[in-house]
């Protein structure tokens, strides 16, 4: 994030992981990592985020 100028865009693919991120029974390492990323992005005041439910999910995060 420090290397990106204001207005810079991050694109994250597969953020819904075939719907498995919403399944609390799935505790696989990769699924948990995606949950952590999603939670972090929502709480990070340095970026504006939007998650698009297209295919396995795409998140766009723009640096403020």
Per-residue pLDDT tens over the stretch 10-29: 999 999 999 999 999 999 99
Cα 36–Cα 11–Cα 6 angle in degrees, nearest 5: 100
Residue 34 pLDDT: 96
Residue 50 pLDDT: 97
pTM for the model stands at: 0.87
**CA distances from residue 14 to 22, 27, 45, 56, 63 in whole angstroms, order as listed:** 13, 17, 22, 5, 20
For the segment 39-64, what is each residue's pLDDT rounded down to a tens digit?
999 999 999 999 999 999 999 999 99
Give residue 3's pLDDT band: very low, low, confident or very high (50, 70, 90): very high
Please answer whether residues 34 and 15 qualify as being in contact, where contact means their C-beta atoms are separated by less than 8 angstroms: yes
């Amino acid at each position: 994030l420090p290397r990106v100028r204001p207005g810079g865009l991050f694109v994250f693919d597969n953020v819904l992981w075939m719907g498995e991120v919403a399944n609390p029974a799935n505790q696989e390492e990769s699924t948990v990592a995606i949950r952590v990323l999603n939670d972090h992005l929502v709480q990070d005041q340095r970026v504006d985020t939007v998650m698009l439910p297209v295919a396995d999910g795409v998140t766009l995060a723009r640096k403020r």
